[in-house]
Every structure is written in C-alpha cells, then in structure tokens.
Structure 1
Amino acid sequence: MNQNWHGTLIRHMLLLVTGCLVIGLITGYYGWSLAAGLGLYLAWTLKQLLRLHEWLRLHQPDEAPPDGYGLWGEVFDSIYHLQRRDQRVRGRLQAVIDRVQESTAALKDAVIMLDSDGNLEWWNRAAETLLGLKTPQDSGQPVTNLVRHPRFKEYFEQESYAEPLEIPSPTNDRVRIQLYLTRYGNNEHLMLVRDVTRIHQLEQMRKDFIANVSHELRTPLTVICGYLETLLDNVEEVNPRWSRALQQMQQQGGRMQTLLNDLLLLAKLEATDYPSDNQPVHIGTLLQSIKSDAQQLSGSKNQKITLEADTSILLKGSEAELRSAFSNLVFNAVKYTPAEGNIRIRWWGDDQGAHLSVQDSGIGIDSKHLPRLTERFYRVDSSRNSNTGGTGLGLAIVKHVLLRHRARMEISSVPGHGSTFTCHFAPAQVAQARVISAAE
C-alpha cells in the first residue's frame, strides 16, 4: 500500500511489453504479440473492475473487499484499510451517541429534537411521561398534532422563544409543564420540557393568600374609612388637635384601599389566560377618554399632552382591562413629568401588529432598574413613589393585561430626558374598523 502506484504501473507495463516482444521475437509476429498481450491485460483489468463494482453493489456493511493481485491488490487493500478506519470512526461516534442517549434518558426533564418543519426526530424517556409520546409510532409526526394546547401552537409558530411557556401536561391536567424552545442547525428545534407542578402550586398558594387577605382586609378597612369620613364631616365637633391626625388617617386609609383594589385586580387577571369579554375595542376612542382624564390629573402643571391614533385599527380584547393598562402608563407619565413637560401618546399599526407608545419628558429611569420595573412593589425611588401616591403595582398590572392580550412591553429611558413605554400587540389581536363595520 505504501509503494508508488505510478512506478508499479510503469514496471508492470514494461514487463508486459518486454514479454510480448520476446514472444514476437520467437514467433516473428511482433505486432500481433503486442496486441494480444495488451488485450489480455485489458481483459484482466476489466475483470478486476467488474469484481470491484459487484462488491460495491452487493457487499454487506462489514464484508471485506475481494482479493486481488498486482495493482488491483493494492487497490483492494487500500479499500480494506479505509473500511476498517471508517468502522473505527463510526464505532467512536456510536459510543458518543450512546453516552448522550444514556445521559439524556436519565434526565427527569424531557428532551425532544424536531426538524425544521416541527416533526419529531428523537426524544428521551421523560418525554413519554410528560408529553405522552410513543416510540416508534410518533416518530416523524408534527409536534403540534401531539401537543394540542392552543397556546403551544401559538408559541411554536412565533419567531422568538425568549420566554418559556407553561401549560398543563397532555397526559395529566394536574401536572404543569414548562417548555423551552431553541433553534439550532438548519432551522431545527430543540425542545426542553420540565415538570413545574410544585412551583405552580406554590405560586397558586401565594396568589390565593394575597387574594384572600385582600378580601378579608377590605371590609374592616371600609368600616374604618367610613367612620373617618363621618368624623371629618363633623370636624367642628371634634377636638382641633385631632383634625390633622384624622386627615392623615383618611389619606393613608385611601392609599390602603387603592392597594387592596390593585391586588384584587391582579388576582383577577391571574385567574385566567384570556379575557372573558374578548371583543373588538375602538382604541382611538379609548385613548381620547384617557387623555381627557390625564388633562384633569395634570391640573396646574400645564403639561402638553398630544394624541396620535389610527382610528381604523381596533384591538380584540377586554376594554376594561385595556383601559386599566393604558391609563396606568399615561397617568404615570403625568405624575413623573414636571410642569410644562410634554407627553406624547401614539397608536399605530404595521406588518408586525399594532403598537401603543407613551413618551414623556420626565425625570427618566436608570437603565439598571428597567428589567425589574414590572415586578410587584418594585420601587425605583421609594420617596418619589410615596410623594406621588403609587402602590408599586401599576406596571405589574400593565404586564399581566398585556400577557392576556398576547402582547409585550418595551421600555426605554434616559435619566433626565424622559421615558418611552411601548406596547406591541401581535397581528392576531388586531382588527380593522372597516371589517367590523362591514360585518355589522
């Protein structure tokens, strides 16, 4: 195999020609001897070539190539060594694959590989428990045919998988699963599924606790505020020294009632995934009403509030919830924008869906606070919030309303130059006014 094939071929041809010339010298027919010798060599070469072709066509995976002589023996030996090397490489690769499959089979989390069209290619044993996949009959099936939850279909078809999806397990409604999707290779998908039932139960206990406490506190707080209001209505009969104390008590009681109302609203928003009154909402009219309320809230601050709205774009959802979210954004802009400041409200649509932006020229927010703004009770500046009377729940309410309406919020802000809150709604949530009117 290590010989010079070109040299070997030349030596063979020289020996053949010499033999033919010797035979020609004996017989006296040099031309015919040379032609006969070359013909025999060509026939032998074609025979070896046919043997190679037959072996390539019919050989078993581990079957060695046929024996040969001379140059063809070198060819067959080279093929044999390549075959052995390929078997060693395949053996190492198979060992790696086996180890990966053994390690993933030991995972409690499900691992599913999907092709570019979303068809099942491979999964581990945990996927059979959490998703009910069956081997081998489900191989090649679209994953959306086996995981039929409507939210999963929407999640799978979207372009971004930055956030995981939590849904009930297809095999057991009492089991909650969390799905992560990642793209790799040629637009293929890797899906990870984990059991989050315990976390979901703890979260549900927290929600129930907050809702129950809020309900229980509402009645005594209403009684206390009612008596305080009665006392202040008859303030002339009360000792003057108690007048200021009663006013402060009433103010703080009002803040507590606002806080309880926000907590109850959050509990209601978290109770279901979709709004019950999912109807087309005229956002232009809704924003005009919120703008009028914002002008009254601004009062003597003399802020310039402008509204630009495409009235032909309607939004499918709950008008009450959308009013709560949009008014939170606009009223926050009024609270944190100084006198003579500018507030711009825009509502428009494009190929990506519909969008609402609330831009102000207020005090702005440091970038380190932006990722946590929608957390409950998170305060950028506690003293500022106490002065404005905020509960720390406004943006949390906005976040939950947007989630229920298949939307997301983008926040950009520069300290000292104002902030912009933009809500992006998916095309599926958008309705055109002319379509609604034609249907009516």
Structure 2
Amino acid sequence: MRLWKREFLRLGLLAILGWGLGWILGIAGFGLAVGISLYLVYHLLQLRALHHWLTHTPQSEPPAASGLWGELFDRLYRHQKAQRITQSRLLGILRRIEESSEAMRDSVVMLDRHGDMEWWNSAAERMLGLKTAHDRGHHITNLIRDPRFVGYFHSLDYREPLTLHSPIDERMVLQFQITLYGDDERLVMARDITRLHQLEEMRRDFVANVSHELRTPLTVLSGYLETYSDYADQLPPRFARGLGQMQEQTTRMQNLVNDLLLLSRLETDRGGADHAAFDLQALLESVKRDAEALSAGRQTISVELEQPASLTGSEQEIRSAISNLVFNAVRYTPPGSHITLRFKPHPKGGCLEVEDDGEGIDPIHIPRLTERFYRVDKGRSTATGGTGLGLAIVKHVLLRHDAHLEINSHPGQGATFRCIFPASRLILATDDAFPHHA
C-alpha cells in the first residue's frame, strides 16, 4: 500500500511540476501533458524491460528497478524460482515413478480417456508386444483383440480381474486388472500367472482323476453293503450294528465324488452345447418336490413367480445350482422353518431367490461361503450330510451363465441367496396372469 502511495505522489509531483513550468511559460495545459507523458514513458520502459526479461532471459536475474516496478520484478522472480523448484521436485517424482514402474515385473499401460495408449513399461513390451514408436496413440483394443478383453474394457466393471493368454505368446497366461482414475483415464495392469495357472490345472486334473478312480471302488462297496443289508438279520449283532453307518458314509463319499466331478467339469468345460430356453416355473416346482422329499415335512416350502418367464441356459446346471441352495436351506434351518423359491424381475434382468427364515449367517462368513469345503459350523458338517461343495458349484454354474450370486443374511433373520441373470438370458411372458404361488 505504501508503494502505491509513493507512486501516486510521484504522478502528482510530475503533474504539478509540468503544470507549474507551463504556467510560467504561459502554456499550463501543455506542461501538464508533458509531465504525465514523462510518467507514462517511464512505465512503458519498465514494461518493455519486463517483457524482454520474461521472453528472452527468464532464468536470469530480473532487471534493476525501484519502487513499484522493483517490487513487481522481485515478486515475479521469487514466484518463478518457487515454480522451478516445484517443477524440479515433480519431475523427480515422475522419474522415480517411471523407474519403479520399469522395475516391476507386472505390465503397466497408461491410457487416456479415449482408451489410447500413452505410456507403458518394459514388462508390457515383453508380455504384450508393445513397440514405443509404432503403438503409442493406438487404442488398447487394437492390440488386445480378444472379445473377452474388449467386453471387459467397455463394461467399466473392473471389480474382478480377467484371465487371458498373452496376445504374443499362447503359452503365457496373464491376469488383467483395469483401474479408473482422473478424467476417465485407465491404468491397465497385466500379471504373468502362467505358473499359478499350471498349478491350478494340475490341481483340477488331480481332483478329477482321483474322483474318477474312487467311483469304481465306492460302487463296489455300496453294492456289497446293499447285499449285506438284505441279510442283516443273519449277521452277528456286532457286525449288523456298523452296517447302517457304513452305508451312510459310503453314500456321503459317493455324493462328494459326484460333486467333485461336477465341479471339475464346470471348471474345465466352457459349456453352451445344451443351452436352450426352459420354463422357470416347471423347474422350480420340480426342485420344490425334491426338497420336500429331503425335508420329510420338517419345513414348509413354496414357489412364487412374480412374472412368468423362461431362461436360456443349461437346465441341468441351473437345476443343480438351485437344488444346492434349497437343499442347504433344508439341511441348515430348524424344523418349522419356511423356505421360498422365488423368481422376480431385477434391474439387471431377472432374479432367482432362495429365502428362508432360519437361524441366519454372520456376515463375516459370507465372502467365503463359495469356497470349497468352507463351513460356517464345522461341528455339524457330518450330521447334515453336505459335501461342502454346493455353493462352489452354484458360483461356477452362474459364471457359465453370465450371472452372479448375492447373499444377504444376519443372525436370527434368515438368509436370502439371489442368482442374478442378465436380461439377455430371460424371456419374460407377456400375459398379466401373475403372481403365481404354489
């Protein structure tokens, strides 16, 4: 503020001096104009010095000046120096980020908001075959043309990673994960999981082979046990006592082997050959009858259709998935509970629900329920007769039908298992004769 006062004082003195000299000479107005002109010339010269400094020598010391212009030059120089320090620090951070990205074994590709490639590390060149001069500015789907990646990229749903073979080496298996940031920009990361994929294949093959080999001895054991049970009254009492338990455990082992074989087939076979449209009400009614036979009157079971519909897919696999959900409800809800099989429209398409009013499940267990052999209550696993593979089978069946499983439950509030199918797999009836209840 003091500088501005001085500047106004200087202007006033020049004006008064010019006017005074002009008055003495008899041309007061001309003298005033000369005084103000000198003031303007001074400022124009300082402005020219500022322009020359900023245009030609911005890194050098600012021009020497006093008063308001000296303060302005000093402030601009300090600001410019702070900007250079900040820029140098940011460049250092960017270099470290680039160096750390180069050191990563995982591929990193930066995309702009249009999906065009801007930068990538050397691992991306090795795994994806990127070439700096040729591929920069090209769309990512021009490089990775697999329809599954194209659909994954455009879906904008990147919660789960995508596993594909490398576009340049079929022997290499990559796991892609896309992250959104900034102004709809994307970061594509690809990890080499070839070794893990091979180990997973070995595990699947081992489980499938062992399960297959177990079927024959179990069939033989089951046959002999049935024969012995027909003559149980002729066996010594201490042999007869264990016969029923042997039959029960053999049946349990056969169910386990069958579930392992089914799960192995779901993991290795892409399916689709038997996909056709089938009526959902008929399916749910059939599953209800099987569940009532298993329940033996301990629970009440009903079917509700908020809208008649058909589903396109494998009827056998969908039946297996819904049966597993309903049979779990029968096994784990107390007598007197009510179980509902329901179909209703959903914002994403359609929803098949299995709802019960039983004891419920602590939400802490829900993320792990679809793992193989995971049990909420390990103490009653033998009593219920389950194999621990039911929800894993449900998960894989739904994945093969572009669907997903949602679980909602709290202790004392029952449980609801929802199978969410996309609209592309549903054929909704046009009649208004609903809801249907059974």
TM-score using structure 1 length = 0.86
1:358 corresponds to? 354
2:266 corresponds to? 269
Alignment of 1:1-400 (within 5 A): 4-21=2-19, 23-24=21-22, 27-42=25-40, 45-46=43-44, 49=47, 59=55, 62=58, 67=63, 72=69, 75-76=72-73, 78-235=75-232, 238-239=235-236, 241-273=238-270, 275-301=272-298, 303-400=299-396
1:409 corresponds to? 405
Q: 8 Å contact 2:372–2:392 — kept in the other structure?
A: yes
Letter in 2 for 1:390: G
Counterpart secondary structure, 1:376: coil
Q: 8 Å contact 1:313–1:349 — kept in the other structure?
A: no
**In 2, distance between residues paired with 1:379 and 1:426?**
29
Compared CA separation, residues 275 and 181, structure 1 to 2 (3 A):
same
**In 1, distance between residues paired with 2:77 and 2:271?**
66
> Aligned pair count?
429
Task: Report Cα offsets for 1:265-294 as digits up to 9, x if no partner.
Answer: 011011044544333343232112211222
Compared CA separation, residues 99 and 256, structure 1 to 2 (3 A):
same
**In 1, distance between residues paired with 2:3 and 2:270?**
75
Q: Give the drift of 1:352.
A: 2.2
1:438 corresponds to? none
Counterpart secondary structure, 1:359: strand
Q: 8 Å contact 1:283–1:311 — kept in the other structure?
A: no
**In 1, distance between residues paired with 2:196 and 2:71?**
67
Task: Report Cα offsets for 1:200-247 as digits up to 9, x if no partner.
Answer: 111111111111111111122222222332333454665555334333
**In 1, distance between residues paired with 2:392 and 2:256?**
13
Q: 8 Å contact 1:64–1:80 — kept in the other structure?
A: no
Compared CA separation, residues 144 and 282, structure 1 to 2 (3 A):
farther
Compared CA separation, residues 9 and 281, structure 1 to 2 (3 A):
farther
Task: Report Cα offsets for 1:122-144 as digits up to 9, x if no partner.
Answer: 33222222233332543443333
**In 1, distance between residues paired with 2:297 and 2:27?**
125
Q: 8 Å contact 1:109–1:126 — kept in the other structure?
A: yes
**In 2, distance between residues paired with 1:362 and 1:125?**
55
**In 2, distance between residues paired with 1:117 and 1:431?**
35
Q: 8 Å contact 1:377–1:392 — kept in the other structure?
A: yes
Compared CA separation, residues 53 and 274, structure 1 to 2 (3 A):
farther
**In 2, distance between residues paired with 1:61 and 1:23?**
41
Counterpart secondary structure, 2:129: coil
**In 2, distance between residues paired with 1:204 and 1:92?**
48
Q: 8 Å contact 1:410–1:421 — kept in the other structure?
A: yes
**In 2, distance between residues paired with 1:141 and 1:388?**
57
Q: Give the drift of 1:108.
A: 0.9
**In 1, distance between residues paired with 2:420 and 2:330?**
22
Counterpart secondary structure, 1:300: coil
Letter in 1 for 2:280: I
Letter in 2 for 1:392: G
Compared CA separation, residues 209 and 350, structure 1 to 2 (3 A):
same
2:436 corresponds to? none
Compared CA separation, residues 298 and 60, structure 1 to 2 (3 A):
farther
**In 1, distance between residues paired with 2:145 and 2:429?**
32
Letter in 2 for 1:171: I
Q: Give the drift of 1:379.
A: 2.3
Counterpart secondary structure, 1:330: helix
Compared CA separation, residues 179 and 283, structure 1 to 2 (3 A):
same
Task: Report Cα offsets for 1:32-59 as digits up to 9, x if no partner.
Answer: 1222332354356456657766887xx3
Shifted more, 171-180 versus 40-49: the winner is: 40-49
Q: 8 Å contact 1:297–1:334 — kept in the other structure?
A: yes
Shifted more, 223-232 versus 371-380: the winner is: 223-232
Q: 8 Å contact 2:19–2:35 — kept in the other structure?
A: no
Q: 8 Å contact 1:362–1:418 — kept in the other structure?
A: yes
Q: 8 Å contact 2:312–2:426 — kept in the other structure?
A: yes
Runs of 4+ residues over 6 Å off in structure 1: 53-56
Q: 8 Å contact 1:284–1:310 — kept in the other structure?
A: no
**In 2, distance between residues paired with 1:363 and 1:18?**
98
